Structure 1
Amino acid sequence: MSRINVCGGDGGAGCMSFRREAYVPKGGPDGGDGGDGGNVVIEADAQLSSLIDYRFKHHFRAERGTHGQGSRKNGRAGEDLVLKVPLGTVIWELDPETMAHTHQLADLAVDGERVIVAPGGRGGRGNPHFVTSVRRAPAFAEKGEPARDHWIELELKLMADAALVGMPSAGKSSLIARMSAARPKIADYPFTTLVPNLGMVRAGNHSFVVADIPGLIEGASEGRGLGHTFLRHIERTALIMHVVDITGGLEGRDPLEDYRIIKEELAAYAPELASRPQIVIANKCDVSGMTDRIAQLRSLAAQDGHPFFAVSALTGAGLQPLILSAGQLVSELRAELSKSTSSVQDMSEVLEQRRLEREARFEVVAEGSRAWRVRGAEIERLVVQTDWENDEAVTYLQSRFAHIGLDAALERAGAQTGDEIRIMDTAFSYEGDEFDEKHVASS
């Protein structure tokens, strides 16, 4: 996984200008809008296999928009910055202080799928936008919106159709070596496999990718051992192939108990994994005296509604029916998935709508004696884009505050005439149902 800081480009400033031509004595406002800043976009690319491009470079910023000009010439929008990542990349928003996950931004699983992770700042509007029936010649324009940087985490999960899961030394590595061309490290002691292995399996007319997930232990769903590190790779797979060492291994474990433990750990980590299609595999069935154990495990699998196969990774016994069944099941699951998903998704529109909804919200909290702090992305944007040296612009800001309901919110919170209202580094004097035009910029 990689943590990177992303920032869109700043928006260009709008222009305050009036038409000045010979024989046009009263030319109207003609200032152009500033260009929007470029976005930082993350796109899934099937040609990539790792996040190594983000190992040493951690800061990415898109191009800024240019300023508007007179004669209604709008500024040029900044170019988007497109960052390519492998299929299977999950993008998390991080808390700026603790760097903990706050929410998931996207899960890119289709080639060409993309998402805007850092929108560019909006370009400021030129003065023609502020013409009203009573304000015929607005002598102000908006500043460009500065883009905000934030930290995100890129987490790569395996893109496999099926996952071999089970206790340590259940024989998963031996199975993937038998089923595919993968050559993992194989030994008779626990935790031989420390990283997942991938193998391509040919099953008659079908083929599928299988992942050998390192051995799980009881408590893995709570993070014991390397539980979370391994379990996260299982979330994406369509089919779970649950491998049980029917002999109990060198530790003499109870295979039925092993089956129960892994089953419960999967459900505890992600409840939807309990209903994921699953095949139960009794491995090492070439060992003598295993008939009763095989029958008992077969019965448990049947109770849970899972197909059951008794195999030997050592001799290859029973593997061909298992491979053909898994290939057919993966093919059916793929067909179902293709019906429920579009070819390539651009989630930017959905995420942008969610972002706008979040930014429209604001809160008013008491801060000291007769002082109130207002927090909210949209309100803070209005303050940043206001030209404080222009009285008309400040008056317009007051009308915008009333329009979005800030005055009413302050009244409900208990603000009184003369109270100080703080937004970012700017303070206002509250005058009942409006703000005093005189503002104080605090450092």
Structure 2
Amino acid sequence: MFTDKVHIYVKGGDGGAGCMSFRREAHVPKGGPDGGDGGHGGDVVLEADASVSSLIDYRYKHHFKATRGTHGKGSRMHGARGEDLVLKVPVGTVVREYFEDTKETGDIIADLTHDGERVTVANGGVGGRGNIHFVTSTRRAPAFAELGEPAQDGWVELEMKLMADAALVGVPSAGKSSLIARMSAARPKIADYPFTTLVPNLGVVKGDEYNFVVADVPGLIEGAHEGRGLGHEFLRHIERTALILHVVDMTGGYEGRDPVEDYRIINRELALYADELACRPRIVVANKCDVPGVEDNIRRLEEEVRKDAIAAAGGNEFADGVEEASRVFKISALTGKGVDSLIHATANKVHELREEAREKQQAEVQYDRIWEHKREQKDRSYTVRKLSDGIFRVEGALIERMVVQTDWENEEALAFLQHRFNRMGLEKELIKAGAVNGDEIRIVGRAFEFESADDRVDIYKELDF
């Protein structure tokens, strides 16, 4: 089964708790703190694998979780790190944020276009620090440690787009499957009725000098850009291809269609789906030219293709590239007539486009880990909302994890949490939002009373600021 879009829930492993321990040995009556750190939780990693051909592994199983870190122990023994969970996906998989509640997608996380390329989609929680980290000049024997940090979790969308150099496009029954079978070792289902091909097929074509990968995309119909006939499901696979092989049935098929109108319909659908597809390099292939009585259709198609080439050149019929763009390859996928010439021209054009893409890629600035930076910025930000008179809620990933990491039964741990809040400027934000001493502050599932060291807070309350 071919599966090219799935949604999965991923969760890293939670961090292990730090240890609160003191050195206890004979003849050492006052041993210092020696609690070890908890181990970090494992990450959930997506890895592109050339041996994986579809997303079928994620069609029925949607939840994936890495292992958690183990807790720290005394004698400065740190907990073990949890194992990463590596999920294999096909080369050409686009990874996006996905919001299950609203069924909407967010930012692109990664575009895995090379074998072995990886991206972390859910970081494991950081292990809690043992009490050895909280020794200061005034706190010689800290009797608290941090709990493990909760791991990141959430839904992501995996969308597979075929990695092919050229794509065969056309209306149903144009002969695309027969052509890919003639050009390569691919053996798709071939029959004399429309929509025989329901999933894209890939084939490797060996040219005289260069090899290339061609994709047989299921037939498109008018309205495909709006999703008719599963148009969106098929059109996405054309986006990555460097070259379009536009296959036109010169007989008009069993419906007696006009080949020139079919040619116009496909061009229009590609342009309406994505603007860049309208300018994508293409080769027009007139198929079934061995059938008697198609000569007039071939002539009309050649005139239409030349008209389009001249229009693309700004109306100058003598411009460079017009003659090449006006060429129509007359072939028969059934007998093989003209196919060798088509393969040779396609291989040369694909090689040319590859070189151009390589030069462009080298010239472009690479922005690595953009999504990771966005996630970190989002992680550190927080908001303060006034729920009602005297009640405020603080929301933010990092500040919520601090609360979860804190042992609320330990007064020293609570004092340390207050210190971390002050360093983040939370007190100032609460005052700015209108909080005064005695108000209730809610974070995650905890609530505490606001107490500011700034005496002016009560004055603001009296003056109704």
Alignment TM-score, normalising by the size of structure 2: 0.83
3-state DSSP of counterpart to 2:32: coil
The equivalences for 1:123-272 within 5 A come to 123-246=127-250, 248-251=252-255, 253-272=257-276
Paired residues in the alignment total 430
Tell me which residue corresponds to 1:300: 308
Moved more, 47-56 or 320-329: 47-56
Aligned residue for 2:347? 327
Give the equivalent residue in structure 1 for 2:328. 309
Decide whether aligned partners of structure 1 residues 326 and 120 sit closer, same or farther in structure 2, where only a CA change above 3 A counts.
Answer: same
Give 1:362 deviation, angstroms: 1.5
Which one is further off, 421-430 or 97-106? 97-106
Structure 2 residue 421 is matched with structure 1 residue 401: yes
Contact 1:282/1:294 (8 A) holds in 2: no
Gap change, CA 1:307 and 1:109, over 3 Å in 2: farther
State the 1:46 CA deviation: 1.8
Q: Distance in 1 between matches of 2:268 and 2:300?
A: 24
In structure 1, distance between residues paired with 2:38 and 2:329: 69
- Write out aligned runs for 1:18-37 (5 A): 18-22=22-26, 24=28, 26-37=30-41
1:75 aligns with 2:60: no
One-letter amino acid matched to 2:74: G
Q: Does 1:353 align with 2:373?
A: yes
1:430/1:263 CA distance change after superposition, 3 Å: farther
Q: Secondary structure at the match of 1:71?
A: coil
- Distance in 2 between residues matched to 1:348 and 1:132, nearest whole Å: 39
Partners of 2:341 and 2:269 in 1: CA distance: 28
- Name the CA shift for 1:354/1:224 in 2 (closer, same or farther; >3 Å): same
Correspondence for 2:47? 43
Q: Which residue of 1 aligns with 2:111?
A: 107
Distance 1:138 1:225, change over 3 A: same
The aligned counterpart of 2:90 is 86
Q: Give yes or no for contact 2:96–2:106 (8 Å, CA) kept in 1.
A: yes
The RMSD of aligned alpha carbons is 2.8
- Matched residues, percent identical? 63
Query: Is the Cα contact below 8 Å between 1:302 and 1:308 reproduced in 2?
Result: no
Q: Give deviations 1:92-127, integer Å, cap 9, x for gaps.
A: 332132444333332222111112222111100112
State the match for 1:376 in structure 2: 396
Tell me the distance in 2 between the aligned counterparts of 1:146 and 1:348: 26
| Normalised TM-score (structure 1) | 0.87
Q: Structure 1 pair 218/404, CA: closer, same or farther in 2 (3 Å)? A: farther
Q: Deviations over 1:284-312 (max 9, x none)?
A: 44512232432232331353364632312
Cα distance, 1:133–1:160 mapped onto 2, change above 3 Å: same
Kindly provide the amino acid, as one letter, of the partner of residue 154 in structure 1: L
Contact 1:301 1:308 in 2 (8 A): no
Higher helix share goes to which structure? 2
Deviation track 1:40-78 (CA, whole Å, cap 9, x = no partner) reads 222222222233333443332222111112232211111
| Alignment-derived partner of residue 421 in structure 1 | 441
Match of 1:430, as an amino acid? Answer: F
Work out whether residues 70 and 79 of structure 2, in 8 Å CA contact, stay in contact via their aligned partners in 1: yes
Aligned-partner residue type, residue 403 of structure 1: R
In structure 2, the residue corresponding to 1:411 is in which secondary structure? helix
Cα distance in 1 for residues equivalent to 2:25 and 2:279: 74
Aligned mate of 1:289, from 292, 296, 299:
296
Whether the aligned pair in 2 keeps the contact of 1:162 and 1:211 (CA below 8 Å) is yes
Q: State the partner residue of 1:439.
A: none
Shift of 1:13: 0.6
Whole-angstrom CA distance in 1 between matches of 2:387 and 2:167: 54
CA contact (8 A) 1:421 1:428 kept: yes
3-state DSSP of counterpart to 2:237: coil
Structure 1 gap ranges (5+) = 435-443
Aligned equivalents of 2:103, 2:412: Cα separation in 1: 42
Task: Supply the AA of the counterpart residue of 1:95.
Answer: F
Matched, 1:97 2:116: no
Tell me what 2:457 maps to.
none
8 Å CA contact 2:305–2:326 kept in 1: the answer is no
Q: Which amino acid aligns with 2:67?
A: E
Deviations 1:303-342 (A, max 9, x none): 3364632312245443322211111122233344456669
Structure 2 residue identity aligned to 1:293: L
Return 5+ residue gaps in structure 2 as ranges: 313-320, 455-465
Residues of 1 paired with 2:264 and 2:413: CA distance?
A: 68
Please list the CA deviations of residues 202-233 of structure 1 after superposition, one character each: whole Å capped at 9, or x if unmatched: 22122211111112223222222201110111
Deviation per CA, 1:383-428: give whole Å up to 9, x if none: 0001101111111111211222222222332333332221111112
